Each structure stands twice: as structure tokens, then as C-alpha cells.
Amino acid sequence: MRKLFLLLMLVPFYGNSQEKNVINATRVFPKPDKVAEFEKAIAAHAQKFHTGDYKWRVAEIMSGPDAGGYTLVEGPHTWDQVDKRGDLGAAHQADWNKNIAIHLSQKTSSLYAVYLPDLSTVKPDDYSEKYAINHVFFKPGMYGEIIENYKGLKKMWEADKMNIAVYESSSSGAPQLIVVTRYKDGLKERQTGFRKPFPERYVAANGAGSFEKWLEVTQKTVDHQWGEMLFTRADLGSK
């Protein structure tokens, strides 16, 4: 009876304990002739209004369809923190509208994503200055199969000591996996010859015939994908 009482006492603790695994990434695109004004305004805004739990990490998008834009990332948070965030107050909104929005084009996007530890080789808050993102959109009904397929990739990434953070989008457009390669040693990690060819590395980590199986499942589960490279702009983010 005593054990049952102690267990019941712990229920509220477990019920209220939430993992900080949610990020929000907002993308904005300054007008081509207003980049300098935008950068000055976004830095001042971040350092004044985005502190503590809601600090920003800002990165410049260097390649891909969103090149020329900037991503503003908050988190990781719990969903409860996201729920209670609000708009950070009237002064915050007024500063955004007066000093930042006037320099932006109409194009914008916002995404929530959940960190997947079972597929990642690096903690969500272990960042790098330069990184690449692969947006992998999977076919309906294929979630379980693509997740299992990526477990083989994790084995390879671990063997290669690669820093990969994998996220799943959450109610933010078409379902996707967001695979972030963090270049702790810089862009030389992308150099041909820095690592052995992908099929050779995959087989070394997963066994004979595994690459052919991975390729078969990938062709079955993936609808389309696209990539981009981003450079962190610490000068524009929260201090």
C-alpha cells in the first residue's frame, strides 16, 4: 500500500515534466535594397526583446530556393512553453512592425519541428557556425518505414563521428524530416575525399547488402527532397 501511495504521489511530477525538444524557425526575406537596414534592426530587436527562454539564433541562408533569406530560431522548448509564449508584449510587436517589417518582402514562413533523439548523433543545443539542411518529404503512410531506414543512417553517422540533428516537422505544411548536418570542422567536411564514399561507409556500419536495401526503401518512401546551406550570424542574434 505504501508503494502504491508513493507511486501516486509521483504521477503529477511525471505528468508535468515535458521534454524541451520543440523549435520554431521563422524565415524572413529582406528587400534586396534594404539588407543593411534589416540587419541593423533585427540585431537590435533580438538583443532587446529575445532573451532568456525566447532568445534567437539567426542564420543567413546561403543556397537553395530560400537563398537571401534569414532564419530566426527559438528553442528548444516544451510545448507548454510554446503555448504560453504569446506575442511577447505590445512593445515587442510595435518594434517589429515599425523597424523590421518595413524592410521585408511579403515572402515568409514559419515551422515547428520536434527533435528526434533516436535518429540524431548530436544534442539539439550543440550548434555549429555552418550547417546544411536536407528537407526530406515522405509519402503518406510511409512514416514508420522511413524512420527505420534512418536508423541505418544514424549508425553510419556515429561511425563517421558526424554531427547530425534530425527533426520532424509538426503541423507545418507537408510532413518532412529535417536533417541538419552541423560542420564542427567547417566546410572542409564537404570536400571530396574527406570521408569515404557513402555506399562504402553505409555498408561498413550496417553490413553486406544493406546499402541496396537502404536505396530500395528510400525510393519507396521519399516523395522529394531539397537541400540548403546556412551560416550562423551571431552578430544578429540574441546575446
- Residue 64 pLDDT greater than 90, yes or no: yes
Strands 70-77 and 57-61: antiparallel
Across 141-163, average pLDDT: 98
Is pLDDT at 83 greater than 90 in this prediction? yes
Q: Comparing 19-113 with 115-230, is the CATH topology the same?
A: yes
Q: What confidence score (pLDDT) does residue 211 get?
A: 98
pLDDT band of 17, cuts 50, 70, 90: low
pLDDT above 90 (res 8): no
Contact 232, 59 (CB under 8 A): yes
Query: Is the CATH number of domain 115-230 3.30.70.100?
Result: yes
pLDDT tier, 86 (very low <50, low <70, confident <90, very high otherwise): confident
**Domain spans in the chain, listed from the N-terminal domain onward:** 19-113, 115-230
Determine the average pLDDT of the residues in 180-195.
Answer: 96
Average pLDDT, the chain: 93
Average pLDDT over residues 100-107: 94
Q: Average pLDDT in the 155-162 region?
A: 98
Q: Which of 61, 81, 71 is nearest to 16 (CA)?
A: 81
- So what's the pLDDT on residue 7? 43
CATH dotted code for 19-113? 3.30.70.100
Whether 1 shows a pLDDT value over 80: the answer reads no
Residue 13: pLDDT above 50? no
Strands 222-232 and 164-169: unpaired
Is the pLDDT at 146 greater than 60, yes or no? yes
